């Protein structure tokens, strides 16, 4: 169809074209200005829901990150308090051991009673720790101090409530330790008395020594009775065998070293008196248990056994030498006796699993090389040998599991010290050890929460990054593309202006003169 070109036709076409060019330019300028592909909801309705959802997820994720951060305040505060309590208990145990020895007398015991009283005061302060005005060991009653003196004794007035923190869309975790755990309100426990550390061998790795704490690499000095000083460089040693070889090589055979028959530590033989010491303020000799001296020709080092774990073979545990296979043990709890035969156990894990399946609700844990039995509630229980094999005794768990009574022990100890009753003072030591094990268990539990929070923090940060990336992909512009499109739109608009000015500049009237 032939189009008749009129001025209004030209005008309509040109103005329409210019408007389209201008609209395109405006859209590109808007995107370039905001660097966002979607500015209004209607720019891309499909993307709007996604963008809003991602924005909400980012806001929520940030809340979880804040939660984790605030949870760390509580959990870290709890960790510091538990470590303080552990140190106080260790101090009390040292006092009990000191005052039950032959060196103690009436005066030292009276002074010790005062020391214990002061430590009880410190213990109260620690257990009444508050963060932002909230008492961390009070269960859910965090507004009031949970440990108070009542009728001459310390009483817990908090509750056993849990405080839950939200650390992710579907994850909450308990953040607090209610103070009744220190008063026996939650469990009874029996601390194992036998170190189940692995006996040393030539192949034992130095990094496994001291129940897994390892050793400090460096040099040691050995002084013999003739005054000869041997400085031995042990750096680079990997196993106990390497240490023995280097000591013998470094002294040209004048001194020999060996593992003691029990497998607990090292024995140094030479021309006494022997003195083993550190070099340049090092701690190598101490970490090998031989930073000591002897008047004789044989220097016996301290216990540096490595820590067992669930996979440890019972046959590798020096304390069980000659006591395998294990036999039966009796567990007396709430009026019934369970006879558990551990004859088929090969590893420590087997022992723990068989115990758990025989006694649902009770736990057999491994803490720092010792076993610990934890029973539910405040009911006491007893574990004893179940046959002639002496299995309970061999594992160090023969005895009564009682509710923890942190302040009760302190009161008993103070009374015993004031009464100058050394036997009673000594009797408190084992209960203090059990308490220490409880504290270690709580520290491990709380440490696990710290790890969980670290893990949650990492996950949430990764998630935040992923969400922001997705948001950017959905919302933001491709800069290079927008720059190119903007240039094209500008050129298009300028071209339409130029063409319009040319066309409207010419008509027949100009030539009819």
Partner 1 sequence: MCGKPERTTMSGLNAIMDNSLSALLAAQAGLATSGHNIANANTPGFNRQDVIFGTRRPEVLGYGSIGRGVEVMGIRRIQDEFLLNNMRSQTSRLHSYAAVDTALYDIEGILGSIDNDHLGDALNNFFSAWNDLAQPPVNNSLKLNVVSKAQTLVADFHAIEEALRSLETDLEKSIQAETENLNRLLQDIGELNRQVMAAESNGHPANDLRDQRDLRISQLAELAEISVLEREDGSKDIILAGRTMVARDRVTLFEGIYRPDGDGYTFAVVTEGNQQDVNLSPGKLEGLLAARDVHVREVREQLDAVARQLISEVNGLHTQGLTAGGRGVLFFTGDSMSTIEINESLVSNENLVATGRTGTTADNEIALAIADLGRASLVGPNRKSINESYRSVVTDVAGKLNSFDFMVENQLSVVASLSARMASISGVSLDEEGANLVRFQNSYNAAAKVIATVQEMYDTLLAIV
List, in sequence order, every residue forming a beta bridge with 329; answer none if it has no partner: 340, 385
Q: How far is CA 166 from the centre of its chain?
A: 19
What letter would DSSP give residue 211? T
Q: Cα separation of 340 and 354, whole Å?
A: 8
Closer to partner 1 at the Cβ: 27 or 385? 27
Binds partner 1 by CB under 8 A, chosen from 25, 28, 31, 51: 51
> In this structure, what token pair is assigned to residue 119?
């430590």
Closer to partner 1 at the Cβ: 38 or 429? 38
Q: Is 66 a binder of partner 1 (CB under 8 A)?
A: yes
What letter would DSSP give residue 199? P
Residue ranges in 419-438 that form contacts with partner 1 under rule CB under 8 A? none
Phi, psi of 78 (to 5 degrees): -65, -40
**What binding mask, one character per residue, do residues 95-134 give for partner 1 by CB under 8 A, x or -?**
------------------------------------xxxx
Binds partner 1 by CB under 8 A, chosen from 30, 70, 422, 463: 70
Q: Tokens 């400085």 appear where?
A: 231
Q: Is 283 a binder of partner 1 (CB under 8 A)?
A: no
**What binding mask, one character per residue, do residues 178-207 give for partner 1 by CB under 8 A, x or -?**
------------------------------
List, in sequence order, every residue forming a beta bridge with 278; answer none if it has no partner: 220
Q: Cα separation of 284 and 236, whole Å?
A: 12
What letter would DSSP give residue 125? H
Q: Is 11 a binder of partner 1 (CB under 8 A)?
A: yes
Binds partner 1 by CB under 8 A, chosen from 101, 155, 271, 507: 507
Residue ranges in 453-482 that form contacts with partner 1 under rule CB under 8 A? 475
Binds partner 1 by CB under 8 A, chosen from 235, 357, 509, 513: 509
Q: Tokens 């302190």 appear where?
A: 410
Q: Is 293 a binder of partner 1 (CB under 8 A)?
A: no
Q: Cα separation of 112 and 120, whole Å?
A: 12
Q: Is 8 a binder of partner 1 (CB under 8 A)?
A: yes
Q: Is 13 a binder of partner 1 (CB under 8 A)?
A: yes
Indicate the SS3 state at residue 82.
helix
Closer to partner 1 at the Cβ: 161 or 408? 161
What letter would DSSP give residue 334? T
Phi, psi of 271 (to 5 degrees): -80, 105
Q: Is 67 a binder of partner 1 (CB under 8 A)?
A: yes
Q: Cα separation of 326 and 328, whole Å?
A: 7
Binds partner 1 by CB under 8 A, chosen from 48, 275, 424, 497: 48
Binds partner 1 by CB under 8 A, chosen from 29, 39, 207, 492: 39
Q: Is residue 116 a contact partner of residue 94, using CB atoms and an 8 Å limit?
A: no
Listed residue (429, 438, 449) closest to 401, CA to CA = 438
Closer to partner 1 at the Cβ: 63 or 487? 63
Q: Cα separation of 178 and 124, whole Å?
A: 14
Binds partner 1 by CB under 8 A, chosen from 35, 101, 121, 143: 143
Angle at 37 between CA 34 and CA 39, to 5 degrees: 65
What letter would DSSP give residue 239? B
Indicate the SS3 state at residue 403.
strand
Binds partner 1 by CB under 8 A, chosen from 71, 251, 347, 438: 71
Show Cβ contacts of residue 473 under 8 Å, excluding neighbours closer than 6 positions: none
Residue ranges in 152-171 that form contacts with partner 1 under rule CB under 8 A? 159, 161, 163-166, 169
Q: Cα separation of 307 and 305, whole Å?
A: 7
Q: Cα separation of 367 and 365, whole Å?
A: 6
Segment contacting partner 1 by CB under 8 A, of 69-77, 97-105, 113-121, 371-379: 69-77
Segment contacting partner 1 by CB under 8 A, of 233-241, 260-268, 306-314, 504-512: 504-512
Q: Is 505 a binder of partner 1 (CB under 8 A)?
A: no
Q: Is 5 a binder of partner 1 (CB under 8 A)?
A: yes
Q: Cα separation of 136 and 158, whole Å?
A: 10
Segment contacting partner 1 by CB under 8 A, of 37-45, 113-121, 321-329, 491-499: 37-45
**What binding mask, one character per residue, do residues 216-235 give for partner 1 by CB under 8 A, x or -?**
--------------------
Q: Is 175 a binder of partner 1 (CB under 8 A)?
A: yes
Closer to partner 1 at the Cβ: 311 or 511? 511
Interface contacts to partner 1, rule CB under 8 A: 3-9, 11-13, 16, 34, 36, 38-45, 48-49, 51-53, 55-56, 59-60, 63-64, 66-67, 70-71, 73-74, 131-134, 136, 138-143, 159, 161, 163-166, 169, 172, 175-176, 475, 507-509, 512
């Amino acid at each position: 169809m032939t189009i008749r070109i009129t001025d209004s036709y030209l005008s309509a076409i040109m103005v329409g074209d210019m408007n389209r060019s201008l609209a395109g330019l405006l859209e590109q300028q808007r995107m370039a200005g905001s660097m966002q592909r979607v500015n209004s909801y209607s720019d891309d309705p499909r993307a709007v829901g996604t963008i809003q959802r991602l924005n909400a997820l980012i806001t929520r994720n940030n809340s979880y990150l804040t939660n984790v951060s605030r949870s760390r305040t509580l959990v870290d505060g709890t960790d510091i308090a538990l470590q303080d309590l552990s140190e106080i208990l260790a101090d009390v145990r040292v006092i009990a051991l000191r005052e039950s020895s032959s060196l103690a007398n009436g005066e030292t015991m009276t002074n010790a009673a005062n020391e214990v009283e002061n430590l009880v005061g410190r213990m109260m302060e620690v257990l009444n720790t508050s963060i932002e005005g909230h008492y961390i060991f009070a269960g859910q009653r965090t507004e009031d101090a949970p440990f108070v003196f009542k009728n001459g004794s310390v009483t817990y007035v908090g509750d056993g409530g849990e405080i839950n923190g939200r650390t992710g869309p579907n994850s909450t975790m308990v953040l607090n330790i209610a103070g009744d755990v220190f008063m026996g309100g939650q469990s009874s426990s029996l601390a194992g008395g036998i170190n189940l550390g692995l006996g040393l061998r030539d192949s034992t790795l130095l990094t496994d020594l001291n129940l897994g704490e390892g050793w400090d690499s460096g040099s040691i000095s050995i002084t013999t009775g003739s005054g000869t000083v041997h400085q031995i460089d042990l750096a680079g040693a990997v196993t106990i065998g390497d240490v023995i070889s280097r000591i013998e090589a470094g002294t040209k055979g004048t001194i020999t070293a060996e593992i003691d028959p029990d497998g607990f530590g090292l024995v140094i033989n030479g021309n006494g008196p022997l003195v083993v010491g550190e070099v340049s303020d090092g701690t190598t000799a101490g970490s090998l248990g031989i930073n000591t001296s002897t008047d004789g020709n044989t220097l016996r080092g301290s216990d540096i056994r490595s820590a067992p774990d669930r996979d440890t073979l019972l046959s590798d545990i020096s304390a069980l030498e000659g006591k395998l296979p294990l036999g039966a043990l009796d567990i007396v709890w709430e009026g019934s006796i369970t006879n558990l035969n551990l004859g088929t156990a090969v590893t420590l894990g087997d022992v723990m699993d068989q115990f758990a399946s025989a006694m649902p609700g009770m736990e057999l844990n491994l803490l720092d090389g010792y076993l610990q039995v934890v029973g539910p509630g405040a009911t006491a229980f007893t574990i004893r040998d179940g046959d002639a094999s002496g299995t309970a005794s061999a594992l160090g768990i023969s005895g009564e599991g009682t509710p923890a009574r942190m302040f009760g022990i302190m009161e008993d100890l103070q009374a015993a010290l004031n009464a100058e009753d050394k036997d009673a003072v000594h009797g408190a030591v084992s209960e203090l050890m059990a308490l220490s094990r409880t504290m270690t268990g709580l520290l491990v539990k709380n440490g696990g929460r710290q790890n969980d929070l670290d893990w949650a923090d990492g996950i949430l940060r990764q998630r935040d990054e992923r969400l922001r990336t997705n948001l950017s992909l959905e919302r933001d512009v491709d800069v290079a593309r927008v720059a190119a499109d903007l240039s094209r739109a500008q050129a298009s608009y300028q071209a339409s202006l130029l063409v319009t000015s040319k066309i409207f500049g010419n008509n027949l009237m100009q030539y009819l003169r």
